[in-house]
Structure 1
Amino acid sequence: EDGPLKISGATFRDLVWPGNDIQQLTVSTAENGDWRIAGNAKLIDLVPLRRNRGLGEGRAISFEFLADRIIAGDGIVLSGQIIGSKRSNGGGKARFSGDLFNKTKPLITEAQVDIQFGENADLMDGAGLVGGAETSIRYVDNKDSPAELVMTSDNGGSTLKGLGVTDTIRSGDLVLKTRFLDGYANFDTKIRITNFRVVEAPRAVRAFSVLGPAGLIGLLEGEGTYFGWGEALIENRGPQVRLKQVAGQGQAVSVTFVGEYDRETRTVDVSGNLVPASFLSNIIGVIPLVGQILTGVDKAGLFVTQFSLKGDIDDPDSSVTPASVIPGVLRDILSPSWLEREGERILGPSIDE
Structure 2
Amino acid sequence: MGFWRSRKDRRLKKEKEDPAFFKGIQYILSNDQDHAIEEFTKSVKVNSDTIETYVALGNLYRSKGDIDRAIRIRQSIMLRPNVDEPIRLRALYDLGLDYRKGGFLNRALKTFLEVAHKDPGNLENLQEIERIYEELRDWEKAYNIRQRIAKWMREDQGHILAHHLVEAGKVYQEQGDYHRAKSAYNKALSAHKACVDAYLHLGDLYFGREEYKKAFAIWKKIFDVAPEFLFLCYNRLERACSRMENLKPIGDFLKECVDKRPDAFGHMALARYFHAEKDGAAALAETEKALDLNPSLWEARRFKGRLLLDEGRSEEALAEYERLLDLLTLPFLSFQCERCGFEPKELLWQCPQCRYWDSIRPVDNRRKQTVAIQSGAPDPVAVNGDPHP
TM-score (ref. length: structure 2): 0.28
Q: Larger RCO: Structure 1 or Structure 2 (Cα < 8 Å, ≥ 6 residues apart)?
A: 1
TM-score (ref. length: structure 1): 0.30
Of the two, which has the highest radius of gyration?
2
**Structure 1 or 2: more strand by fraction:** 1
